Amino acid sequence: MFVLDSHCDTPSEILRGRDLSIDNHNAHVDFPKLVKGGVDGAFFALYIPAAFDSDPKSGFDHAERMLEGVERSVSENSDIAAFASNRIQALKNREEGKFSVFLALENGSPIGDSIDNIKWFYDKGIRYITLCHSSDNQICDSCASAEKTWGGLSPFGKEVVAEMNRLGILVDVSHVSDETFYDVLKYSSRPVVATHSCCRAICGHPRNMTDDMIKALADAGGVIQINFYPFFLDPEFTDVDSSIRPSYKKVADHIDHVVSLVGIDHVGIGSDFDGIEVTPEGMDDISMMPVLFEELKDRGYSESDLEKLAGENFFRVLG
């Protein structure tokens, strides 16, 4: 079983000085924790805060600095980590005893107004782009904006989706508005992904996906990767400083819900570690990932089921 986490914000922590070679106190992700957790690969997302949306050039520079930090970290730990951009490379890395670092861009604003920048990111190894973050940008509307700019994808955003399809970069619909989501499905010629989202039927946060959205995503061949953020997992969690956190079993509840809607082939794990202020009880960092799989086993998931949601579903779409 290849365990793939489709969304970690670790590049931001590298930029702040985290040394991934050591077991960092209170950190969510580093190489010792990944080894302990049996995680074989993860997408390291270059997170671009919405503050850069009005200044794409500065956002591009920020992404470039994070990318340089990840490249340096992998180079300094080349005995235990290597880059990958597809399943074959990832399996080869595992055979050599190495963790696979995949790359993603969270928030497409650094693309600016130049389609050519998408090719630059592709050549650097980016294999999915989250179209926006917490505000509308030049590509689309965000789920977090009170007043929408475009009513979905912008005209330029439709070009962006087409170019991502052409190059082989997955379109990530986490953070987008509902209207943007349906526009993406309309205009994308390839399956799309929600790399770190949850189910609105369980927790009514606008970042989560409705049952109809999950069904539409699955019908188009895509996959939803369940986020570990308590605010998206449990409607009763309302305070980031609260000592009462939902259990990691809530993650399994969201997985169960997706499976009940669309089957086992359209769900996976996108923790959002290093990008969330608080984690579920019993899942303090990525080293604790095995407890989730034990919970799923106890709920009756077969080894084949676990292989699919651990990584094979996402690899299918990536391929």
Mean per-residue pLDDT, 281-308? 98
- C-alpha 53/C-alpha 47 separation (Å) is 12
- Give the length of the chain: 319
Count the neighbouring beta carbons within 10 Å of the beta carbon of residue 104. Answer: 26
State pLDDT tens for residues 201-235.
Answer: 999 999 999 999 999 999 999 999 999 999 999 99
Tell me what pLDDT residue 240 has.
79
Instruction: Tell me the domains of the chain and their CATH numbers.
Output: 4-318 (3.20.20.140)
- 8 A C-beta contact, residue 132 and residue 108: yes
Q: Which of 136-145, 206-215, 235-244, 295-304 has the lowest mean pLDDT?
A: 235-244
- C-alpha 302/C-alpha 104 separation (Å) is 30
> Considering the chain, what is the average pLDDT of its residues?
98
Q: What angle do CA 201, 235, 134 make, to 5 degrees?
A: 85
Mean per-residue pLDDT, 285-299? 98
Judge whether residue 155 has pLDDT over 90: yes
pLDDT band at 71 (very low <50, low <70, confident <90, very high): very high
Mean per-residue pLDDT, 167-178? 98
Tell me what pLDDT residue 243 has.
77
Residue 157, SS3?
A: helix
Lookup: tokens for 54: 């009005």
- C-alpha 316/C-alpha 311 separation (Å) is 9
- 8 A C-beta contact, residue 272 and residue 225: no
Across 60-197, where does the E strand assignment appear? Answer: 81-83, 99-106, 126-130, 170-172, 193-197
Judge whether residue 165 has pLDDT over 80: yes
Tell me what pLDDT residue 241 has.
77
Buried b (16+ CB within 10 A) or exposed e, 52-77: bbeebeebbebbeebbebbbebbeeb
Helix (H) or strand (E) holding 269: strand 267-269
- 8 A C-beta contact, residue 186 and residue 217: no
List, as one string, the DSSP characters of 89-120. HHHHHHHTT-EEEEEEEESSGGGTT-THHHHH
- Hey, what amino acid is at 145? S
Tell me what pLDDT residue 242 has.
76
State pLDDT tens for residues 124-143.
Answer: 999 999 999 999 999 999 99
